[in-house]
Amino acid sequence: MKNSIGVVIPAYNPNLKALEGYVKDLEKVLCPDIILIEIDDPSELVLSQIEGISANVEVSDRRGGKGAAITRGFNKLKSDILVFVDADGSIPAKSVKMVCDSVIKLDADLAVGSRRHPDSNIKFHQSNVRKLLGDGFSVLSRVLLDAKLHDYQCGVKAINRKVWEEVRRDIEKKGFSWDIELISIVSMRGYKIKEIPIEWDDQPGSTVKIIPTVLELFNALFTVRRKIKKLKGEQ
């Protein structure tokens, strides 16, 4: 029996032309049952143009954060495989399919796309500052977290819906630190996580504010670590 696929795209002030093209690529390569765009606090311009995109769109009137948008979307989907991808299209649809296929083939309960895997193909790199901060975060994450990965924050992940239904009650992060909490909870529950090397092309015009995001992520490493210890009954 074919597994159904549901895709969630969290978005905040997206480039609608680029997003429309990305949605078409995902539809062609993945053949998903549904693509759901969870958009936070859209401008009037975005609202007036978003209907032209061939995807389901859900709008929140406030900016809840990337993690909150993914959680909302995943909780709405009934698909066998739940996938999220960043809205900027930096990860081509063929790489998204590789991440999905790992869950479909039962190689993983949670498949994590990776820009820092030795076999990844990076077509255009981030600035030196962003790369240095990202590398430092990954090194510290491997030290503090049980799941030992090359890349925790890459913008594509796929999870078995039954696994999501078990872990979602413990997912509380609403921003960019959602990823490390998800990975940590899935790992703690004993499910298999697999890192998938991807092709990646950094896109200009990111709405991510570097310093606040870095502070959020580094703080989250310690709060998630404490949470996992508490859930394990170690404190």
The 10s digit of each residue's pLDDT in 87-114 is 999 999 999 999 999 999 999 999 999 9
**More confident position, 10 or 54:** 10
- Considering its fold, how many domains does the chain have in total? 1
Q: Which domain holds residue 183?
A: 5-231
Assess contact for 85 and 26: CB atoms under 8 A: yes
**More confident position, 56 or 127:** 56
Task: Report which of 21, 69, 58 is spatially closest to residue 36, judged by C-alpha positions.
Answer: 58
- Report, in angstroms and rounded to the nearest whole number, the Rg of the chain calculated over CA atoms: 17
Indicate the burial class of 85 (C-beta count within 10 angstroms; 0-12, 13-18, 19 or more). Answer: buried
The 10s digit of each residue's pLDDT in 116-173 is 899 999 876 566 677 777 788 889 999 999 999 999 999 999 999 999 999 999 999 9
pLDDT at 89: 92
pLDDT(41) > 90: no
Among the listed ranges 23-27, 48-52, 182-186, which one has the minimum average pLDDT value? 48-52
Max mean pLDDT range (44-53, 98-107, 134-143, 216-225):
98-107
pLDDT at 5: 98
> Could you report how far apart the first and last alpha carbons of the chain are, in Å?
44
Max mean pLDDT range (32-36, 42-46, 87-91, 120-124):
32-36
CA angle centred on 151, ends 142 and 155, rounded to 5°? 140
Cβ neighbours of residue 20 under 8 Å, at least 6 residues apart? 52, 53, 54
Reported as a pLDDT band with limits 50, 70 and 90, residue 203 is low
CA angle centred on 200, ends 194 and 204, rounded to 5°? 135
Check which CATH number belongs to the domain holding 205 and give it: 3.90.550.10
pTM (2 d.p.): 0.91
Distance CA 68, CA 74 (A): 10
pLDDT(211) > 80: no
pLDDT at 87: 92
Q: For residue 193, which phi and psi values (nearest 5 degrees)?
A: -115, 135
Percent of the chain with pLDDT over 70: 94
Reported as a pLDDT band with limits 50, 70 and 90, residue 14 is confident
Q: For residue 214, which phi and psi values (nearest 5 degrees)?
A: -60, -45
What kind and span of H or E run contains 6? strand 5-11
